Amino acid sequence: MEIKGCELLVERMQSYTIAIRLSFGISHTFCLDIMKKQVLFLCTGNSARSQLAEAIFNHMAGTLFHADSAGVHPSEVDPRVFEVLDAHSISGESLHSKDYADVANKSYDFVVTLCDNAKDECVIFEQNIDQLHWNLVDPKPLEGTEPFQNTAKELIERISLFLLVNSEENRTQVDPSSFFKLMSDPLRLKILMLLEDEQDLTVTDLKNALNESQPKVSRHLALLRDTTFLKDTRHGLWIHYRLSPSLPMWIKHLLQIVRVGNPGIINIEKNRLKAAQQSEQ
């Protein structure tokens, strides 16, 4: 499965790998392994959810990440795990049940707990380990393979999003509270939504669309620019604004969701903009 936005990073990582190999005479596989970010999936038994997560994640992640799985009370892997993985053409050959104690001393970049028991029973992780909790329904007590198929489907969706927003190199760090504070102002929200649609607008374009004074619009644009959300470029006498290309993928994704989920939020503003542009022609 292809993960959008990862191609350039993969190419750069491969270049770094070649340089390291030439310098130290070590194997290509070893280089890739040490450069991968490490992810641990935890659940109670390491017999269903976390096994599916490990296999699906490693199938999708390529050279960027590597996942392990473990359980706080490990038990035998449910055979339906292998049936579902086979249906998705995903290898489960290396899967086996592991105790959390056996991997506790390994260094991980991310820990993802998949049930409340695992979240509550595990030790407190170090602050430099990013922690996520995906509380998935346990498919084991349910009959047939359909519950396992549903778990796999949910994992594919969650892992796809995880890889999309965590596979960037040199991301601009943005405090989520700052982002949502900016989004909470109706005028700034509409500016961001207009730029999401139009890609590139001038102060005059936005003044016409928003039906606000130029000084007021300029103040909001300056704030968005100074907080790295917008990039401005001068073309002759005009300054054009657009969303910053260095925004983290999670912000880009969220702006797209807000726009698609609220298609009428800037109907009036878009009509004003079109009318103003037509009158200038």
Catalytic residue IDs = 43, 115, 122
3-state SS track over 6-42: CHHHHHHHHHHHHHHHHHHCCCHHHHHHHHCEEEEEE
> Count of CB atoms within 10 A of residue 1's CB?
13
Rounded Cα gap, residues 198 and 188, in angstroms: 15
Dihedral sign of CA atoms 5, 11, 17, 20 in order: negative
One-letter amino acid of 252? K
Exposure string (b/e) for 21-56, b if CB count within 10 Å is 16 or more? eeeeeeeeeebbeeebebbbbbbbbbbbbbbbbbbb
Rounded Cα gap, residues 138 and 49, in angstroms: 7
Rounded Cα gap, residues 113 and 136, in angstroms: 9
